[in-house]
Structure 1
Amino acid sequence: MTVTHTNRVVCLHAQDDLRLETRTAETPGPGEVLVAVMAGGICGSDLHYWLEGGIGTIRVREPIILGHEAAGRIAALGAGVAGLSVGQLVAMNPSHPCGACEFCQQGLERHCTAMKFKGSAMYLPHQQGMFRDRMVIGAGQCHPLPAGIAPGAAACAEPLAVCLHAARRAEDVSGPLTGKTVLVTGAGPIGALCIAVARQRGAATILVTDIQDATLAVARRMGADHAINTRTDPEGLAPWRKGKGQVDLVFECSAAAPAIADAVSCLRPLGTLVQVGVAGPTALPLNVMVGKEILFVGSQRFDVEFAEAVQLIGSGAIDPRPMITGTYPLEQAQAAFDAARDRARSVKVQIEFAAASGPDDSEMTA
């Protein structure tokens, strides 16, 4: 017998119009699974959709379920699914490239021209996201984690994958991180995880800058050796500006012009600046960048790094939990979003869903 149930979702209807709604639950088809969501992280893009009604030229044009960082337990399997079992904790990859466009054919799936990315308003219809009690998703987008891993940690696989891809971009142009002096500008979730990746890959010294003491304290717990508040200590980077700069590699995670200027001033000649943070048009100190022959590298999302992120979290090689500064039940989704926008007290805020407290009478069973 199949038990049907309703499904609560966090749905954005327009700028500053966030609603907790009830929908009819889906049933997995061939090659799909039903996941009982346990934890979902609020990303900067979710905040932009909520606060501004979009990101740059991308606008919310119809109701959209937000969220693309989530983990949960398999509740049901569709026909033909192998390698997954009911009850398994999985992290869900929000990316589903088409596999057929020119970029997919070149192995550059992150640049897919028909990408289906959960919780994205780029195309119509919008791709509905992961902030819901239960969701159907392709089995290939589900990556199992071992027993004992916290769902909140598993839900950090997506932002960790972004940082692993940034590290790979750096290594492609300037070699391994081992022994390097690394500066991370911006101590939000991506900055915190870039610190963890740099630590895991053997960086000798890791610096981090931000304008909030609370986020810098989290950055230290994630592995930073030096945390500098550039607002209260504008000369804090002076030791790394000496000569022509003392830093080998920068992960720029803020997209703020002053932080980029600080980064360039600290980079040694032929150093590498990996731009991870994004915003609108941003001023760059091109004269200094050219004079130092700085390598400027953009980093866009991730490809195979999602599986690597799951492996690192599952093995305990990277523990993202120190950056989780708040967890709210789904009923308090609005409060969770309010907390997430407050950088003076929050790094990564997560929403906890019904499955987090264990099975209930609305589980699907066969």
Structure 2
Amino acid sequence: MNFELVLLEHRNKLCKSCCVPLTASCNRSTIRLPCFRYPFDMENNLCVVLHSKGDLRLEERPIPEPGPNDVLLRMHSVGICGSDVHYWQHGRIADFVVKQPMVLGHEAAGRVVKVGSAVKHLNVGDRVAVEPGVPREMDDFLKSGRYNLSPTIFFCATPPDDGNLCQYYKHCANFCYKLPDNVTFEEGALIEPLSVGIHACRRAGVTLGTTVLICGSGPIGLVCLLVAKAMGASVVVITDLSSERLKMAQEVGADFPLLVTREDSAQDVAQRVAGRLGKQPHVTIECTGAESSIQTAIYATRSGGVVVLVGLGAEMASVPLVNAAVREVDIRGVFRYCNTWPMAIAMLASGKVNVKPLVTHRFPLEEAAQAFETTRQGHGVKVMLKCDQSDQTP
């Protein structure tokens, strides 16, 4: 599949004489990006826009005007999520289909540059982390505190809603959270994946003394590891196909990294987990979505324990349901998160959780194509795009 990253010119700002395409190649794509002579300012809003499957463009859009309950943010750091890459490569995730151009990005932090008339808790200059899911109506899910399940929720970079991988972005002020001085923009952006870990560990009931198995040591597996440890898990086993990712997992706190292969049976992996722990874990958090890994999660978890499904795979999966039923192993789903940003900020500000090692690559916004290709190829852990040309610090 080929793709071309295209800049739609803002004719008053783009220098005609230096618009010679720079070319980078990989085994699946060719990238063309013009060079720039002038910095962007408040008259420009550079955005990473997905038009259709494989058609990723860098283009300028109008700077939005905040409504009474909104704030306008100058974006600073935005992480690339696996879902962003999946939309780029496939044009859809399950029933969410890209039918019109959509700005990508939902792991974000920025600075307030304009405040709506009804906003009281934020001021111009405040540094904030963005919670990308905003309820649109006062339905039963919002009333019960589970607004993530609302069928009408706005969510950044989920069709048809635009994300925040851009220079300027408007968002509901109530879902922007002020960052303490000792929490960086990048940490603020990583609150989004960290929130998945918090929600998963809450759903699992992780507490002091809990023994935990985490299947998959990608970015989500790693944040689940960090949160489980912070919530009091006594021992964590984590599995993966990659020894490099397991090395990172061990560096951030895993007690027993366990290398597995595609040929291993689910029962064999479950036995190896029990061998490492000396017993079966109370909780398993499955972060891959792979059918064999879900099977492992059920077989590995002790009777009366909990399996939490975080990873999203095929719609239908063959799993040992009777095994879970007769051993009263609860199987619980996870869909995004809710009510997690305050806890995440407290974890980061107190030093109980350190997400800084997860950022392995940084690119300026103008190099979005290279950043997406780096993520697609599975290099490193978290790729961060820096949206503010005047401030490329973490």
Once the two structures are superposed, residues 48-96 of structure 1 have per-residue CA deviations (whole angstroms, 9 ceiling, x without a partner) of 1101110012210000000111001112222232221222211011111
Q: Which amino acid aligns with 1:333?
A: A
Shift, 1:5, TM fit: 1.1
How far apart are the structure 1 equivalents of 2:346 and 2:390? 22
- Aligned 1:41-60 pairs, distance under 5 A: 41-60=79-98
- Contact map agreement 2:270 2:297 (CA 8 A) in 1: no
- Aligned 1:173-252 pairs, distance under 5 A: 176-231=206-261, 234=264, 238-241=271-274, 246-252=280-286
Shift, 1:206, TM fit: 0.5
- Contact map agreement 1:77 1:85 (CA 8 A) in 2: yes
- Contact map agreement 1:245 1:265 (CA 8 A) in 2: no
User: SS of the residue aligned with 1:290?
Assistant: helix
User: SS of the residue aligned with 2:305?
Assistant: strand
- Contact map agreement 1:7 1:132 (CA 8 A) in 2: yes
- Contact map agreement 1:38 1:356 (CA 8 A) in 2: no
User: SS of the residue aligned with 1:190?
Assistant: helix
Q: Structure 2 vs 1, CA of residues 56 and 270 (structure 1 numbering), >3 Å: closer, same or farther?
A: same
Higher mean alpha-carbon deviation, 11-20 vs 294-303, is at 294-303
Shift, 1:216, TM fit: 1.4
Match of 1:312 in 2: 347
Match of 1:342 in 2: 377
Match of 2:140 in 1: 102
- Contact map agreement 1:245 1:269 (CA 8 A) in 2: no
Match of 1:364 in 2: none
Shift, 1:330, TM fit: 0.7
Once the two structures are superposed, residues 256-300 of structure 1 have per-residue CA deviations (whole angstroms, 9 ceiling, x without a partner) of 112122222321111210111112222212232234321111112
Shift, 1:358, TM fit: 7.1
- Aligned 1:107-118 pairs, distance under 5 A: 107-118=145-156
- Contact map agreement 2:364 2:389 (CA 8 A) in 1: no
- Aligned 1:1-366 pairs, distance under 5 A: 4-121=42-159, 126-171=160-205, 176-231=206-261, 234=264, 238-241=271-274, 246-280=280-314, 281-343=316-378, 345-354=379-388, 357=391
Q: Which amino acid aligns with 1:78?
A: G
Q: TM-score, normalised by structure 1?
A: 0.89
Q: Which amino acid aligns with 2:386?
A: E
How far apart are the structure 1 equivalents of 2:207 and 2:213? 12
Identity of aligned residues (%): 33
The count of residues paired between Structure 1 and Structure 2 equals 348
Q: Structure 2 vs 1, CA of residues 358 and 160 (structure 1 numbering), >3 Å: closer, same or farther?
A: closer
Once the two structures are superposed, residues 241-260 of structure 1 have per-residue CA deviations (whole angstroms, 9 ceiling, x without a partner) of 35995111001011111212
Structure 1, unaligned runs of 5 or more: 360-366
Q: Structure 2 vs 1, CA of residues 310 and 233 (structure 1 numbering), >3 Å: closer, same or farther?
A: farther
- Contact map agreement 2:270 2:299 (CA 8 A) in 1: no
Structure 2, unaligned runs of 5 or more: 1-40
Q: Structure 2 vs 1, CA of residues 338 and 24 (structure 1 numbering), >3 Å: closer, same or farther?
A: same
Q: Which amino acid aligns with 1:241?
A: A
Runs (4+) of structure 1 exceeding 6 A deviation are none
RMSD (Å), alpha carbons: 2.2
Higher mean alpha-carbon deviation, 46-55 vs 212-221, is at 212-221
How far apart are the structure 1 equivalents of 2:263 and 2:354? 29
How far apart are the structure 2 equivalents of 1:215 and 1:74? 36
User: SS of the residue aligned with 1:231?
Assistant: coil
Q: Which amino acid aligns with 1:156?
A: L
Q: Structure 2 vs 1, CA of residues 358 and 288 (structure 1 numbering), >3 Å: closer, same or farther?
A: closer
Q: Which amino acid aligns with 1:190?
A: I
Q: Structure 2 vs 1, CA of residues 144 and 299 (structure 1 numbering), >3 Å: closer, same or farther?
A: same
Once the two structures are superposed, residues 10-61 of structure 1 have per-residue CA deviations (whole angstroms, 9 ceiling, x without a partner) of 0000011111101121222322211111111111211111011100122100
Q: TM-score, normalised by structure 2?
A: 0.83
How far apart are the structure 2 equivalents of 1:340 and 1:22? 23
- Contact map agreement 1:221 1:322 (CA 8 A) in 2: no
How far apart are the structure 2 equivalents of 1:339 and 1:150? 23
- Contact map agreement 1:327 1:351 (CA 8 A) in 2: yes
